[in-house]
Amino acid sequence: MDWKDVGAWLKDNAGAGAALVGSLLTGNIPGAVAAGVSMVSGATGEANPDKALAAMQSDPGTLLKLRELSVQNEASIREHIRAMEELRLKDLQAEHHETQETIRAGDKAEDRLVRWTRPLQSWASLLAAIGYGLAAKNPSLELLALLLALPWAYAGLRQIGKGMDTVAAVKAAK
């Protein structure tokens, strides 16, 4: 067991104040994780995640102590959580930018094969989907979706799924 497991338990079971500490423990910023470990260790008197979790599960007083520590340090905890989310969003933005640059480079390539590959794949896949949809007596929706994935992505519909990630992140932050 590690501190992320303790953080997950806190987020699920400890209530509002201590759940913020759980968010620190499940994050990926070393300073935030260290702050969360420090608070849990201070509340439980244990530096081992297994023993700290056992202490919190067996003694409600340790959770109360952890809630008190989290209230005292709430501004700092919220700043750590904000910084974790900012880093995650910057990473997603950089990933999206890199993808767009790769696509633009292919679209502007001097080599015709490189420049035409994506559009030709999309058209071929679209024609295959139309042919399958018209020829099959009972077309499989899964197969049609697979055949239409390339034309949809080429047309820009690849962003639909990314919007769902944002909705999930907003719900998780609350």
pLDDT in tens, 115-135: 888 889 999 999 999 999 999
For residue 161, the tally of other CB atoms under 10 A from its CB is 8
Rounded to the nearest 5 percent, the helix, strand and coil shares of the chain are 85, 0, 15
What pLDDT does 166 receive? 58
pLDDT in tens, 75-95: 877 887 788 889 889 999 999
| 160 has a pLDDT exceeding 60 | no
